[in-house]
Chains A and B, each alone.
Chain A
Amino acid sequence: MSSISTTTDQALPVTVIQRSRGLGRLGVGALWGYRDLLAILAMRDIKVRYKQAALGVAWAIIQPIAMAAILFLFFGKLMGLDAQVAPTPYLVFVLAGVLPWTLFESAVTASSGSIVASAGIVRKVYFPRLIVPLAATGAPLIDYGIGMLVMLVAMLVLGVTLTGQALLVPLMLISLMIGVLGVGILMSAVTVAYRDFRHVLPFLLRLLFFLTPVIYPVTILPEAYRWLLALNPVGGTIAALRSAILGTPIVYSDWMISTCIGLAALFAGLWYFQRAERRFADIV
């Protein structure tokens, strides 16, 4: 938005405010200076979410369990998908997919509405606006962490052991976060300018949910069409992440395709965001 020159005069920082031209800068350095705000905003979302709930943080554990139980019953048992994924128990299989998907879905949804929801701050104080969608991913990340613990317990109980492949999990989480942040940042800026994205987004996410191998294994599709499932910013990564955890063969090409799409979304998101952010205060 405006440039802060590094020259100092009697150790005073000098701020020059003028219309930014061309691409401008996102100011990653400025972002670092506001890391406390990022942490506090993320903490605020987490605290507020559980403060009024009678069960408090227990919700973070109950939700994935309930979700997995429902999917297990309907898709695993009634529709017979558990036979498709044997010998892996369908419960663990579905948890390993639903958890990262939920992270993606809730983080993108939260980021998308985050700037509008923070209008009160955006209109009254300056700070790098990118903080807002970033902070919105905090609570979903915590939920994901708690969900992972639940899944590890389920694996222990059902006798699924981790293999050496699990060492790839951190790399895959980075891939996943690239997709999550890319789409989230893009949606946050788009939603400010076009409010109807609030209605479009849930529909798109629902569509993407079925195009992502979350409740079903990739193997239910004919081999020639499987690559289609990788054509989304998290699909290939979620499949790879699940394989790494469950010790089934990882489809590296799909993982790479998804990561590249995620990276493209991230760059597009950052580019569009810095273009849009200077008008946020005027139109939000």
Chain B
Amino acid sequence: MTPPAIHVEQLAKQYRLGEGVSAHRTLGERLYGLAGSAYNRLVKRQGAQTSTKRDTFWAIRGVSFQAEPGKVLGVIGRNGAGKSTLLKILSRITEPTAGRATIRGRVGSLLEVGTGFHPELTGRENVYLNAAILGMQRREVASKFGDIVAFAELEKFIDTPVKRYSSGMYVRLAFAVAAHLEPEVLLIDEVLAVGDAGFQQRCLGRMHEIAEGGRTVLFVSHDMGAVARLCDRVMLMDGGRVVTITDPQDAIDQYLRLVADWRRDPSGVFTGPLAQDVRFFDLTVNGVDNNDPRIIRPDQPITLRVVGEAQRAIPDYRTTFSVYRDGVRLLTQHDAPVPTDLPAGRFEATAGLPALLLRPGRYSVGVGGYRDGMREYLWGADLIDFTVTEQWSADYDPINLGLINLPGHGSRITGSRRDALTTADTGSCAA
């Protein structure tokens, strides 16, 4: 029997709270910290102990599994389940706190597409840069350069600085580099969320080829369709632990039950003083709930709808919807222009985004409600997500870079027509 390509034993990673956000300290804080701990040691021994315990959490704990060579192992789970931490440890970006992992073969990791891409550099220069960052030798890149550019279909733009690329072109080029990595073990995190459907299809095909060629793939994704099609086995994680490793359909079913859980037990999901009084369930994006992929064409308007239940009558209340991208709150809309009285019982709240507003990408939705000038509220983040695809048109131009889309265009007046206009204007003035 061949040894496993990836063998993970009791892997664990502990973070300090706030680490990964802004764990760097200023010198002053460090000095205060030293003084503080010295004080604690001298004066109140136990106090120091409990404070260190409170300030840490386990991102993953006791994770053990094996991945067979030549197979695609999917990793799924809710946000915060520990998937990304696991990938970071396996790709040696961060060190485990305990446990060990053994990997046979060269490791290539793709935690985002286009790592290190520099906007000022051309596509060509970025291919070499990105490939070197991913661990390829210059000679290897040179020999595959033609294939990479052809895969990305960017022959004409390869000497253009990537700051002029659309997000789709950018992703295509970046993925093309990654697709030509030839490690024995490939670790992939959620990278296909952007990009048009056709390109996604080709990427999945390429990943399949990679696995067919005897290489091992570890594939983290929220896209259950891709997971079902691509993976031989799927590992479901939750709360930093492995829930199960089984065949894809079974794991996906369990995952969907887990995801749907917030409707049955919203206590952990919704926070705030109103969380006892208002319950939400059945959040949908254009009528599609968490069980099915929510893929939206840019020319479709988007309707967010949630069914809620008020345990008691709540005066001066309104429901809040927020749309996030990469953790940035893009916009907020309410179900009423001003807070109004909400009677006890079921209600339905909606918010609507016009078509052609959002650029391609993955968006996440938070829902909550408030009354009495925000003093009483409830809030649940990351309840559902949706993806806006790339379908270019005159009102949705790939070169209209930015966070949001503005349909339409300005105007241009040139040469003789401009003179004609000016004289005509003067003429009309004189008359």
Contact = CB atoms under 8 A, between A and B. Distances in A.
Interface in B87-139: 88-107, 109, 111-112, 115-116, 118, 120-121, 125, 128-129, 132-138
Nearest to B119: A48
A283 B115 contact: no
A281 interface: yes
Given A2-B95, A37-B132, A44-B125, A15 B24 contact: no
Interface residues of A, number: 44
A192 B92 CA distance: 19
A18 B96 contact: yes
Contacts of B19: 282-283
Contacts of B116: 118, 120-121, 125
Interface string A251-284: 0000000000000000000000000001101111
Contact of B138 (A36, A121, A197, A278): A36
Interface residues of B, number: 50
Interface string A53-74: 0000000000000000000000
A124 B26 CA distance: 25
B184 interface: yes
B20 A282 contact: yes
A283 B96 contact: no
Contacts of B133: 37, 121, 125, 127
B144 interface: no
Nearest to B128: A40
Nearest to A11: B105
Contact of B107 (A1, A15, A40, A120): A15
A47 B126 CA distance: 12
Nearest to B126: A44
B6 to A, nearest CB: 10
B199 to A, nearest CB: 21
Contact of A44 (B26, B94, B106, B121): B121
Interface string B354-390: 0000000000000000000000000000000000000
A196 interface: yes
A13 interface: yes
B316 to A, nearest CB: 44
Interface of B: 3, 15, 19-20, 23-28, 30, 88-107, 109, 111-112, 115-116, 118, 120-121, 125, 128-129, 132-138, 184
Question: What 6 A-B pairs come out closest when comparing CB atoms?
Answer: A126-B92, A18-B100, A283-B23, A37-B132, A17-B101, A281-B94
Interface of A: 1-2, 9, 12-20, 34, 36-37, 40-41, 44, 47-48, 51-52, 118, 120-127, 192-197, 200, 278-279, 281-284
10 contacts: A9-B3, A14-B104, A16-B100, A16-B102, A41-B129, A47-B120, A125-B133, A193-B25, A196-B26, A281-B88
